[in-house]
Amino acid sequence: MFKHQRYEIKAGIGFGLASGVITTLGMIIGLNSAIKEKLPIIGAIIMIAVADALSDALGMYISEEYQSKHTKKEILESTFTTLLSKFSFAIIFVFPFIFLNLSSAVAASLALGFVILTIFSAVIARQEKQGIGKVVFHHLFIATFVISVSQILGVFISLFFS
């Protein structure tokens, strides 16, 4: 899938996908724990898709520029790929909330996110000639940790600020 792409494209897609999926899932679970309302979650997904994608793209640009290893063209490619990837992988989570009730949308988002991470992790493992199960487990464990912390924070926010 990504075998023949250059570093800049791979870096942007990988960073954007992981950040888009994990950040958005963490926010969905945290907000659901805190407020249990669809509209704020939809708004937050759109905000992440736009503001966080722009922020991550700028972060990628600055990081690549600081390393002084790549040409301006390569830096712009990784920046644009990060922006597009982060936006795309974050915005898809809005659709379950448009078409499903809140609890079904949360469950569908978790399933969708874990499927995306599993497929991408398997691609990485195959490309790097590593054990697929080990890489998938490692990435899903990290995602589960982030989501769990977000849920706990959402509960505490609900308890202390409502």
CA–CA dist 45, 91 (Å, integer): 6
pLDDT at position 4, please? Answer: 46
d(C-alpha 83, C-alpha 100), whole Å: 28
- Weakly modelled stretches of the chain, pLDDT under 50: 1-2, 4
Q: Are 42 and 109 in contact (CB under 8 A)?
A: no
pTM: 0.90
pLDDT tens digits along 5-46: 677 788 788 889 999 999 999 999 999 999 999 999 999 999
- 8 A C-beta contact, residue 43 and residue 72: no
Q: What is the pLDDT of residue 67?
A: 77
